[in-house]
Amino acid sequence: MTQLVTDIICPFCGTLCDDIEVEVSDDGKKIIKVTNACAIGAEKFLHAQSPDRIVRPRMKQEDGSWKEVTYDEAAKYTAKILCDAKKPLMYGWSSTSCEAQATGHMIAELVGGVVDNTATVCHGPSLIAVHDVGIPSCTLGEVKNRADRVIFWGCNPAHAHPRHMSRYSIFSRGYFTTKGSKSRKIIVVDPRPTDTASVADYHIQIQQGRDYELIDALRVALQEGPLPETVAGVPKEKIYDIARLLKSGRFVTIFFGMGVTHSLGKNHNIDIAIALTSDLNKYTKAAIIPMRGHYNVTGSGQVLGWQFGFPFCVDLSRGFARYNPGESSANDLLMRGEVDANFVIGSDPGSHFPFKSVKVINELPSVCIDPHMTPTVAVSKCHVPVALVGIEVGGSCYRMDNVPIESRKVVDPPAGMLTDGEFLELVLTEVQRIKGVAA
């Protein structure tokens, strides 16, 4: 007999679907089938079962080979490099639970570390824009129930957040949107003809890197102000049309992704996108939501916020929290050679950071906590495999609209394997011992 586990969250992307059903073997050890998840999500669950999974911590030897160690030894090494360092970088946090993040932050406080999360290379500019202009937003259910005008700007949920469109933003039927996609006008702004663009009512093929100009033009068009013949490659008639379309809606939502946050202009693009949203509230109701990537990058910003007051790149090295993106952010620190130990959890900077940063990691005392073999593991001195949050252990996570949902355990982790939280507790205890402070 197999058993069906329901109401599981998918620990992959910021859509944080919570209706996943998993069929597991009678002994609760094996995942047989995953339903409701998209292809990426299902693969994440099935990956947990891969037979070649590394199940014990390892230290890299002189010759580059790995030697198995115990969790205690790995925790001692981790605590030592963090305590020995003047300014250890503790990076990642986006694919682990809020409970593990909180424990990690207590370690960072004791060792004077810099805590940064993956927002630093994705929605960091959005967070900075929010400091400047705030953010009128809403939960995804508001989009589902009310939104009749939806813009996807510089994002392609069809590939990056596959169930977003059916659960919340295009096809879903809500209380005031009973006809699903027929209740909505969908606008995609993207230089590329993406799969999301192919289901939109309007695809605005903006010239690459011209987001600021086009948003600015839309703000002018809302007031029927004068525009040049084309802006960012878009004819002015089309811009006026879109502005009128938005004003005629009852509830507008703008979703935006890294096409806006990491093209020229960065946080200024988001400043003006938020300003456009605020402007729209003079005519109708409007909200804006960043398409957050990792399933709990939002949670990392939340926990850092309530514990230290800032959403990312929090520098605790001077004994109080400092925050200055561009100075206290991971890549800036690595490239300037300012950190002397590297700790990674819940992310893969080896794949996503510039080569120059990865080279620095390769030279530092370093530990990487990750269930999988990743490029970051390859450049780290110590690799600590752990149970997968949301599959083998539960914990709190935050969806892209900041709604918290508790992830659940579906199957047992491989025998003897610790969770992120358990391993971090070991490290914390050891750090407290080294520092001579009470638990």
Partner 1 sequence: MTEILIKNGFVFDPVSGIKGDKKDIAVKDGVIVESVSGSAKVIDASGMTVMAGGVDIHSHVAGAKVNVGRNFRPEDKLQAVYEPARGVRHMAGGNSVPTVFKTAYKYADMGYTTVIEAAMPPLYARHTHEEMRDTPIIDQAALPLFGNNWFILEYLKNGEIDNASAYIAWLLRSTKGYGIKCVNPGGTEAWAWGLNCMTVNDQVPYFEITPKEIIAGLMTVNESLHLPHSLHLHSNNLGNPGNYQTTLDSLKIAEGFKANNNFGRDQVMHHTHIQFHSYGGTSWGDFESKGAEVMDYINKNPNITCDVGFITLDETTTMTGDGPFEYHLSALNHLKWANTDVEIECGAGIVPYIYSKDIYVCGVQWSIGLEMALLAKDHMRCYLTTDHPNAGPFTRYPRVMKWLMSEKARDEVFASMKAEDKVRDRSTLGSIDRELTLYEIAMMTRAGTAKALGMGKKLGGLVPGMQADIAVYPYNPETASDPEQIEYAFSNAKYLIKSGEIIINDSEIVSNGNKQTYWVDVKTNPSKQVEHDLREMFLKYYTVTERNYEVEEHAFMKNPNVISIDATQ
Positions that interact with ligand SF4 (CB under 6 A):
10, 12-13, 15-17, 37-38, 40-41, 161-163
Partner from ligand SF4, partner 1, none contacting 256, C-beta within 5 to 8 A by type: none
Give the x/- contact pattern for partner 1 in 261-290, rule: CB under 8 A. Answer: -----------------x--x--xx-x---
Q: Please give the Cα distance from 270 to 261 (Å, whole number).
A: 7
In whole angstroms, the minimum distance from the beta carbon of 403 to ligand SF4 comes to 13
Tell me the window of 187-195, 231-239, 311-319, 370-378 that interacts with partner 1 (CB under 8 A): 311-319
Q: Please give the Cα distance from 156 to 249 (Å, whole number).
A: 23
Partner from partner 1, ligand SF4, none contacting 161, C-beta within 5 to 8 A by type: ligand SF4
Strands 31-35 and 88-92: what pairing?
Answer: unpaired
Q: Please give the Cα distance from 395 to 418 (Å, whole number).
A: 14
Q: Please give the Cα distance from 147 to 26 (Å, whole number).
A: 43
In whole angstroms, the minimum distance from the beta carbon of 62 to partner 1 comes to 38
Q: Please give the Cα distance from 271 to 120 (Å, whole number).
A: 17
Three-state SS letters, 92-113: ECCCCCHHHHHHHHHHHHHHCC
* Smaller CB separation from ligand SF4, 37 or 358: 37
Sign for the pseudo-dihedral over CA of 103, 107, 109, 114: negative
Task: Give the Å distances, CA to CA, from 353 to 304, 348, 358.
Answer: 22, 8, 6
* Smaller CB separation from partner 1, 144 or 294: 144
* Smaller CB separation from ligand SF4, 34 or 147: 34
How long, in residues, is the chain? 439
CA atoms within 13 A on the CB side of 247: 16
Residue type, 239: I
Q: Please give the Cα distance from 367 to 381 (Å, whole number).
A: 6
* Smaller CB separation from partner 1, 311 or 365: 311
Partner from ligand SF4, partner 1, none contacting 10, C-beta within 5 to 8 A by type: ligand SF4
In whole angstroms, the minimum distance from the beta carbon of 300 to ligand SF4 comes to 17
- Is residue 406 part of the contact set for partner 1 (CB under 8 A)? yes
Asked whether 433 and 110 are in contact (CB, 8 A), the reply is: no
Near partner 1 in 372-401, by CB under 8 A = 394, 396, 398
Q: Please give the Cα distance from 194 to 162 (Å, whole number).
A: 13
Partner from partner 1, ligand SF4, none contacting 135, C-beta within 5 to 8 A by type: partner 1
- Is residue 144 part of the contact set for partner 1 (CB under 8 A)? yes
| Among the listed residues 2, 3, 4, 6, the single contact to partner 1 using CB under 8 A | 6
In whole angstroms, the minimum distance from the beta carbon of 121 to partner 1 comes to 18
Cβ-based burial of 40 (10 A; exposed 0-12, middle 13-18, buried ≥19): middle
In whole angstroms, the minimum distance from the beta carbon of 297 to partner 1 comes to 13
Q: Please give the Cα distance from 199 to 217 (Å, whole number).
A: 25
* For helices 211-222 and 236-247, angle between their N-to-C axes, nearest 10 degrees: 60
Residue nearest to ligand SF4 according to CB distances in the complex:
41
In whole angstroms, the minimum distance from the beta carbon of 9 to partner 1 comes to 7
* Smaller CB separation from ligand SF4, 15 or 347: 15
Residue type, 14: G
- Is residue 5 part of the contact set for partner 1 (CB under 8 A)? no
- Is residue 323 part of the contact set for partner 1 (CB under 8 A)? yes
Residue type, 182: K
The position carrying tokens 């950071």 is 353
Partner from ligand SF4, partner 1, none contacting 371, C-beta within 5 to 8 A by type: none
* Site residues, partner 1 (CB under 8 A): 6-7, 9, 18-19, 98, 102, 106, 109, 127, 130-142, 144-146, 167-168, 173-176, 250-251, 278, 281, 284-285, 287, 301-303, 305-311, 316, 319-321, 323, 394, 396, 398, 402-406, 438
